[in-house]
Amino acid sequence: MRRSGKQRKAELQHKRAVKRGDAPPPDKQPRRKTLRRPPKPGHTLDARQAADDASKAARKLQSQFVKLDHHFLETTKYLAATLPLPRPISADACLLDMHALCKPGSDLEIDQLSVPKRPKWKYTMSKDEVDANEEGHFRRWITQTDAIVERWHRQGNQPVTSDTDPGSIGEHVVDTMSPGEMPRPPTYFERNLEVWRQLWRVTEISQILLCLLDSRCPPLHFPPSLESYLATRKAKLILVLTKFDIAGPERAEAWTAYLQKQHPGLPVVQVEAYQQKLGEQGRPVYESHLPLPFRERLVNAMRQVHEEMLIPPERVRLDEAKLKRWNPPAKREIDWDGVLLARGKKVGSVVGGAAAPQGKSKEENTDDVQEPEEQSQPNVGKSSLLNALFGTHKVRASRTPGKTKHFQTLFWTHDVRLVDCPGLVMPAFMPMDTQVLCGILPISRVSAIPFCIHQIAQLLPLETILDLTYPSTNTAPLEDKRTWRDGKQSIAKNTDVRWTATDIMIAYANKKGWVTAKAGRPDIHRAGNAILRFVAEGKIAWAFRPPETDLTTVGCNEGNGIWVMRGAEQHDQDLDEGDDDESGDETDVEEIESSDDESEQESEEDVGEDANSQNADVKSTTFSRFSVLAIDD
């Protein structure tokens, strides 16, 4: 109830009288209980604690890589703005030359890099003892691998002193072999022990390993280190070529023949995990779907491998006593016809991993269940293939690599159980830009964006694919005030256009209207990030051809490198869909590791006379939010 002014005045006078001692204090009234609303779902203390534990577990399984040297970033940034791109692209660029791309060096062997193996353990050991043993073994492996990779990196970067002034880099630049070439980048591999433990646990419980390879560049997803590690496991191995729809049937068949020749005895199966439908506004929508022919090939390969597992080895067959005691490593009777027809609500019960329902009994994890494992490097479509096999959404899938953090175990049928293993970046003599091209590395972890754009632009005509206009041609020509006779005025045409990687990023930023917040210059890092995502996600279709392919029989790609040309309408729709994902006033901080630092220094850095002249050209081609305030003379 609201009190009047007289009541408040009387209360104030009484309170003062109590303080002076002229009046007795008032009697204390019992405090009324305040009724609190029940907490919302997920806002209780237990729910918050569970959320904190889940976030800690996610950070614990976050992939770890080395950070690039600042000198390397500055050097490649300058060279990306000065080195012209080869146009037209050589016809040999569409061939995947493994020896030239991943050459180990003069005193290094290609099989020196290895995958860390889990050290031996006993049931009598405690958890702390097992963890300490694994951590010590992993530290020794990291030290050994770092030394090999450092030798490989130094052999590719022979120090040559250059007198060219690269602006903010310094007076001398260290390039590869000559001042006009890009330095060899380092290679990335997984450095988090917890991620490797996921691979160890999964390979221990599986009898069949499905190694998924991107059909655009299969050998790069099956390096010698992974091949050697899987050869030591007792499980059978099947090579599965994914993204068949991007590479096309011709390249997929060629890669299948190549893998069968390089790895005799290993089954090679092609799969397609998506089907295209028309969504809203006529845009293509992709959903998980495995056509029946591909499903039959995969199930038949698993059936054949299972039959081989039921045959005892020769040393057992020669000993009758051992033959009686011998048990196959997998269940003898499996209904493979039921596996072929199982889909939809009939399959996909989660029985392990982060998505497992709580409170289930352990009796479901029977020892006689066949367990194929899907594992390989990131971004080859493991989770997407699982969803396509089940015919429904069961595990999280993403266009970017590294979505799966913890392995999950799901029933396909009551006989067969599938394990979705997180992808790992395996040790290999593979340059960083190649790992980015193949989608092995997450784009959010890439800091050398100009360098990657330069290297990829030597294989793909990005300016043609993105329909870009050379930055200098965007400016209006100066008015010629001289007097000319009729028909005598000469029109100057600039036919010598030499694209660089920085020109491509500037042109795409101008096309999208992306500018930095401070200086209003083209946001080249946001543009480069978007282009890298187009390439890694397959919106810019590309695929290598196997080495030793006769280009005269398959036809030259007319200077377009590894670009797989599709219909113009479908291509434009894919890029428009990607532009919507990249839309916004600011770039996500988590997506670009170093773009925020570069953008903040954009308005203050002074990179010498050459860089100033380039910036002057850039300023004349930008369109910021303040352009409408300009006064036209």
Three-state SS for 270-281 is ECCCEEEEECHH
196: Cβ–Cβ under 8 A, 6 or more apart, which residues? Answer: 116, 138, 190, 424
Tell me which of 79 and 488 has the higher pLDDT: 79
Q: Return the pLDDT at 390.
A: 74
- Does 213 share its domain with 135? no
- Does 311 share its domain with 385? yes
- Partners of residue 241 on adjacent β-strands: 213, 270
Q: Is residue 337 part of a domain?
A: yes
Spatial separation of the C-alpha atoms in residues 334 and 415, rounded to whole Å: 6
Name which of 236-245, 323-332, 483-492, 507-516 the model is least confident about: 483-492
- Does 88 share its domain with 138? no
- Phi and psi (nearest 5°) for 164? -70, 135
Name which of 16-25, 33-42, 560-569 the model is least confident about: 33-42
Q: Is residue 332 part of a domain?
A: yes
Spatial separation of the C-alpha atoms in residues 510 and 467, rounded to whole Å: 12
List, as one string, the DSSP characters of 371-403. -EEEE-SSSS-HHHHHHHHHTS--S---SSS--
Q: pLDDT by residue (tens digit) across 46-90?
A: 777 777 777 777 778 888 888 888 999 999 999 999 999 998 898
- Does 273 share its domain with 421? yes
Q: Is residue 314 part of a domain?
A: yes
- Does 375 share its domain with 445? no
- Looking at residue 154, its amino acid is R
Q: pLDDT by residue (tens digit) across 271-314?
A: 887 777 776 666 777 777 788 888 899 999 999 999 999 999 88
Q: Is residue 69 part of a domain?
A: yes
- Does 421 share its domain with 463? no
* Residue 452 structural domain: 64-101+431-473+500-580
- Does 238 share its domain with 385? yes
- Does 409 share its domain with 439? no
- Count the domains in the chain: 3
- Does 390 share its domain with 517? no
Tell me which of 259 and 486 has the higher pLDDT: 259
CA atoms within 13 A on the CB side of 427: 25
Specify the length of the chain in residues.
633
Q: Is residue 345 part of a domain?
A: yes
Query: What's the CATH code of the domain at 518?
Result: 1.10.1580.10
Query: For strand 236-242 and strand 408-411, is the pairing parallel, antiparallel, or unpaired?
Result: unpaired
Q: Is the pLDDT score of 239 beyond 80?
A: yes
Q: Is residue 213 part of a domain?
A: yes
- Does 304 share its domain with 329? yes
Average pLDDT, the chain: 77
Tell me which of 452 and 91 has the higher pLDDT: 452
Q: Is residue 327 part of a domain?
A: yes
Q: Is the pLDDT score of 104 beyond 90?
A: no
- Phi and psi (nearest 5°) for 174? -100, 115
- Does 238 share its domain with 309? yes
Q: Is residue 504 part of a domain?
A: yes
Q: Return the pLDDT at 622.
A: 40
CA 621 vs CA 292, 521, 579: distances in Å: 53, 9, 21
Query: What's the CATH code of the domain at 245?
Result: 3.40.50.300
- Partners of residue 173 on adjacent β-strands: 162
Q: pLDDT by residue (tens digit) across 364-419?
A: 333 445 666 555 555 556 677 777 777 766 666 655 555 556 788 888 888 888 88
Q: Is the pLDDT score of 461 beyond 60?
A: yes
Helix, strand, coil abundance in the chain, percent, nearest 5: 45, 10, 50
- Does 424 share its domain with 546? no
Mean pLDDT for the stretch of residues 139-151:
93
CA 515 to chain centre: 26
